[in-house]
Amino acid sequence: MPEGRIVKALSGFYYVLAGDRLIQCRGRGVFRKQKVSPLVGDYVEYQADNDQEGYILAIHKRKNELIRPPIANVDQAILVFSAVRPDFSTALLDRFLVLIESKHIQPLICITKMDLLSEEHKQNILRFADEYRSFGYKVLLTSTADESSLDPLRHCLAHKVSVFAGQSGVGKSSLLNALRPELCLKTDEISDSLGRGKHTTRHVELISAEGGLVADTPGFSSLDLTDIEGNDLPFFFPEMVRVSGQCKFRGCLHVNEPKCAVKAAVEHEELPLYRYQHYLQFMEEIKERKPRY
């Protein structure tokens, strides 16, 4: 059977790229019975009725998948956060990072709209960028008004499947328009009353850019940690992992345990308090989550 990759899903159709051909396919009913839905990024086997239409017969095993946005087999996630309008939020960024880390996807933090900052505000953003780099994350500072600031991002996209994700209104579509002006992706102004943008991206599609494939995805402003267990959460804070070997107890959750190296590092200001507070907040949410049966 011929094989290809789904690069677009829209209105019940899946567009499979096979070589230089784009085949419009429907999924067989067997997927509904198995409660499996094809996702953009899936490698599939298909049967073509002609050069343009066919049916998806099988979905190859995925190395990872996201539900919001719905996409599979991603190499890296470009987490796009604006420095202002909407304001930079470490709490929301940490939620994205935990989710992405739990899916075994490499995160890359991209802070946009740097050109809109006052000098004082800029120094604050630079401090956060340095801190996240010290945790082990790659951080890029960009502005669509400064073409040269996009060069590091272009380099990071080559030979990878990347998903652009982040709160609505932070400039994901604007970034992609700057990288591929011919796309003319729709963007909207930020609502002054809500402090956020309208949802302008309606579907997921993989787009060729800078020698790789990137996905512009519907923006969203909240993340539920529904698939993460409390015992796993500490592993998604790399700065805590580095000192956790000094905790007295193996499997220390860094909450109430005595002689916890992570809590000591926070108290001595060796680890930032805001990250630890977010960790405790996420842990509490996980503990209060209703059990799934």
What domains, with CATH codes, occur in the chain? Answer: 3-61 (2.40.50.140), 66-216 (3.40.50.300), 233-288 (1.10.40.50)
CB contact set of 137 (below 8 Å; sequence gap of 6+): 97, 107, 108, 109, 238
Compute the distance between CA of residue 201 and CA of residue 180 in angstroms, rounded to an integer. 16
Report the pLDDT value the prediction gives residue 192, as an integer from 0 to 100: 38
Q: What is the mean pLDDT of residues 138-160?
A: 94
- pLDDT-derived band at 202 (thresholds 50, 70, 90) equals low
Q: Looking at this protein, which amino acid is placed at residue 193? A: S
pLDDT over threshold 90, residue 117: yes
- By the 8 A CB rule, do 112 and 83 touch? yes
Q: What is the mean pLDDT of residues 46-61?
A: 90
What DSSP line would sit under 211-261, residue for residue?
Answer: TEEEEE----S----TT--TTTGGGG-HHHHHHHTTSSSTT--SSS-TT-H
Distances (CA, A) of 182 to 9, 105, 176, 196: 21, 29, 10, 26
pLDDT digits 0-9 by tens, 233-264: 999 999 999 999 999 999 999 999 999 999 99
pTM: 0.85
Higher pLDDT, 220 or 154: 154
Both tokens of 238, joined, read: 């790399």
Is 149's pLDDT higher than 60? yes
d(CA 130, CA 126) in angstroms, rounded, equals 6
Nearest Cα to Cα of residue 93 among 167, 2, 157: 167
